[in-house]
Chain A
Amino acid sequence: MSTIRDTSTAKVVEEKIGESMWSKAAYKYRCDRAGMMGLSVVALYMLVALGVGFGLWGTEWSDNNGQKWEGISSQYWFGTNILGQDIFERAIFSTKTAFEVGLVVAVISTLIGAILGALSGFFSNTWIDEIILWVMGVLDSIPFYLFVAAIAFALSGFAYSMHVAMITTFWTTTARLVRGEVIKLKNFEFVEAARAVGVPQHIIIVRHILPNTFHILLVQSTIVFVGAIKSEVILSFLGLGVKDGVSWGLMIAESTLEVQAGEFANFYAASVLLFILVMAFNMFSDALQDALDPKKVSA
């Protein structure tokens, strides 16, 4: 009797580490040191961004209180820029801009990619698939920066034209990945069973197929997030990006003049903060990918 109870408790303990893909992945992720480091840095940035969002700090980013190019002091932690604005305040405020761009673009483009990718995969080799593939092919063959410039012009005055442009170009990669996975999944027994029982097609897609592509969506959305932050910098530099507020891209753009005059504070502040966030996000994304890949036994 007692032995039976022992084995059952042992089983419970084992199940606590988990048998599902997600709990296994979470366990694997926690063992990944680089990944945990990346995650904590990203979390820190997120806190800073949230603080800016709630108006706790970074509120004086547009005040020109100081003199032109003041050095580092207790009042101006990173000095001031050409207009006498506090670089630290601006850099902190830009964190919010970066997260805003990254989140909006990542969430929406992942949603579009998931839905269209699933449709195209589920109805592969029908006209629906043909049309979606054609749209993806068309969007992929227009040069990115020209496309963004064109959208910015077509929607001139609209503050989110940059977001729209990034979303329209970034969802195709997600959709292609999801399409491939769905084509694989739709021949599995559980889908066949659902179909045999008479579950309608849209419910099969939403309830049975899409949840199984969730790991792809998660990883892909982190990749899109990084891509969006990096593109924002270049687009803002080209004058196509953030319209109101300040961003690291705008700071770098204004620093090009200062760099020629030998003032590097603005350039350093924006580029170092950007580099750390992107690096941490890349590490986070890599670790997530490894943790969610069942084929990969710990490296």
Chain B
Amino acid sequence: METLQYTLRKIITGIPLILGVTLISFTLMVHFGPDKTYDLLGKNPTQEQITEVRHQLGYDQSFAVRYTQYLKELATMDFGYSDSSGEKVSSILIRTIPVSLALILPGFILGNLLGVILALIAAYHRGHWIDKIIMGVSVMGMSVSFLIVIIAFQVIFSSSKGLDLFPVRGWDVYSFTDYLHYVTVPTLASIFVSLGYNTRFYRAVIVEEMGRDHVRTAKAFGAHPIELLFKSVLKNSLIPIITRIMFSIPLVVISGSLLLESYFGIPGVGKVTYDAIISGDQPILKAVIGLTAIMFVFTLIINDILYKVVDPRISLK
């Protein structure tokens, strides 16, 4: 009951955030966005044709009217049809979001998991050469641009100049082996890039926790290193770890995959959105931006509830 009340209150306080995000993105992407009138018209259009198309696209209405219309669409989750392809926006999203998730999730999970494990090892051997090697490699990993990693991995794993094991680009997935075939190289690239940041962040968190009294006591009582790390250290440093993972979720789903999708030619939601910005496909933009904002607010709420689960001392007030 308490949780329910808390969730409702949080949703209400999240409304200004959703309004802000939608207002700013609406102004930028729709109001200042590209004008599609002449894309939809033939050569030498008459004045009536122009007005008619502008009316269809809603350009003749005032900013406030169009924005309220947008909020209505967001509330009913009905975004109409894409300007470019004429396909229903919801069906485009239903088709592309699973592709993006399938592309991004393995790298995201493995990147965080490996990050925590490496951070535990580094923190346990703090100041030792193992720690120094792990941290040195992390800084190197942080310093390589994502783009360079993608290009290099593609050359190494997919091209005839390298190992030539995986397809260069595309997404022809019909079975699990197909999936592994296409997802491996992008996953490796995203793990490589995120690992440096993750390890450094998690190590800082874990090192702080390891200095606590209860850890020293457990050590003095001769607790097994594995038990010590997982029970006394990891469990207590979960809050910053959860925060980091949760907050990257909404952004990872949409924009994290944009670069991978456009480079590997994968038809996910990031690429669809990017194309929509370039071509001014407003219905798609409105849907994606609105959904991201809503997802962000829900992430904030779930985050706070998870805090409560992990640490019973936190009250949902």
Contacts of A275 in B (CB 8 A): 143-145, 148
Considering only CB atoms and an 8 Å cut-off, how many residues of chain A contact the other chain? 40
A144 CB within 8 Å of chain B: yes
Contacts of A262 in B (CB 8 A): 161
Nearest CB on B from A10, distance (A): 34
Interface centre among A138, A230, A299 (most CB of B within 10 A): A138
Which chain B residue has the least Cβ–Cβ distance from A286?
B139
Instruction: Pick from A14-22, A84-92, A252-260 the stretch touching chain B.
Output: A252-260
Please classify the interface of chain A as helix (H, G, I), strand (E, B), loop, or mixed, using the class held by over half of its residues: helix
A141-B250, A141-B296, A279-B139 as given contacts; A146 in contact with B151, CB under 8 Å: no
Residue A282 contacts which of B16, B139, B146 (CB distance < 8 angstroms)? B139
Q: How far is the CA of A260 from the CA of B158 in the complex (A)?
A: 11
Contacts of B34 in A (CB 8 A): 153
Contacts of A145 in B (CB 8 A): 255, 258-259, 274
Binary B-proximity of A150-181 (CB < 8 A = 1, otherwise 0): 11011100000000000000000000000000
A142-B24, A143-B254, A259-B155 as given contacts; A153 in contact with B32, CB under 8 Å: yes
Which chain A residue has the least Cβ–Cβ distance from B251?
A143
A278 touches B143 (CB 8 A): yes
A237 CB within 8 Å of chain B: yes
A153 touches B145 (CB 8 A): no
A142-B25, A252-B151 as given contacts; A271 in contact with B139, CB under 8 Å: no
Binary A-proximity of B251-284 (CB < 8 A = 1, otherwise 0): 1001100110010000000000110011010000
Residue A146 contacts which of B17, B152, B254 (CB distance < 8 angstroms)? B254
Q: Say which size band chain B's interface belongs to.
A: 35 or more
Q: How far is the CA of A237 from the CA of B159 in the complex (A)?
A: 20
A135-B20, A142-B289 as given contacts; A154 in contact with B32, CB under 8 Å: yes
Nearest CB on A from B272, distance (A): 11
Interface centre among B144, B151, B250 (most CB of A within 10 A): B151
Contacts of B120 in A (CB 8 A): none
Binary B-proximity of A237-280 (CB < 8 A = 1, otherwise 0): 11000000000010010011001101000010001001100110
Contacts of A282 in B (CB 8 A): 139, 142-143
Within 8 A of B (CB), among A111-163: 134-135, 137-139, 141-147, 149-151, 153-155
B309 CB within 8 Å of chain A: no
Residue A230 contacts which of B139, B145, B159 (CB distance < 8 angstroms)? B145
A283 CB within 8 Å of chain B: yes
Contacts of A52 in B (CB 8 A): none
A234 touches B289 (CB 8 A): no
B29 CB within 8 Å of chain A: yes
A233 CB within 8 Å of chain B: yes
Q: How far is the CA of A14 from the CA of B22 in the complex (A)?
A: 59
Q: How far is the CA of A286 from the CA of B21 in the complex (A)?
A: 34
B251 touches A144 (CB 8 A): yes
Contacts of B64 in A (CB 8 A): none
Contacts of B278 in A (CB 8 A): 149, 153
A141-B293, A234-B259, A259-B155 as given contacts; A146 in contact with B145, CB under 8 Å: no
Q: A150-B25, A256-B151, A274-B145 are in contact. List 17 more A-B contacts (CB 8 A).
A: A134-B16, A143-B255, A145-B274, A150-B32, A153-B28, A153-B32, A153-B33, A153-B280, A238-B259, A252-B148, A255-B151, A262-B161, A274-B148, A275-B145, A278-B145, A279-B140, A282-B142
24 chain-A/chain-B pairs, Cβ below 8 angstroms: A134-B17, A135-B20, A137-B20, A141-B17, A142-B21, A144-B255, A145-B258, A146-B254, A146-B255, A146-B273, A150-B32, A153-B277, A153-B278, A153-B280, A155-B32, A234-B146, A234-B259, A238-B262, A252-B145, A252-B148, A271-B148, A274-B145, A283-B139, A286-B139
Q: Mark B residues whose CB is within 8 Å of A.
A: 16-17, 20-21, 24-25, 28-29, 32-34, 127, 139-140, 142-148, 151-152, 155, 159, 161, 250-251, 254-255, 258-259, 262, 273-274, 277-278, 280, 288-289, 292-293, 296-297
Q: Mark A residues whose CB is within 8 Å of B.
A: 134-135, 137-139, 141-147, 149-151, 153-155, 230, 233-234, 237-238, 249, 252, 255-256, 259-260, 262, 267, 271, 274-275, 278-279, 282-283, 286, 299
Top 7 closest A-B pairs, CB basis? A154-B32, A143-B255, A138-B20, A141-B296, A279-B143, A150-B28, A278-B143
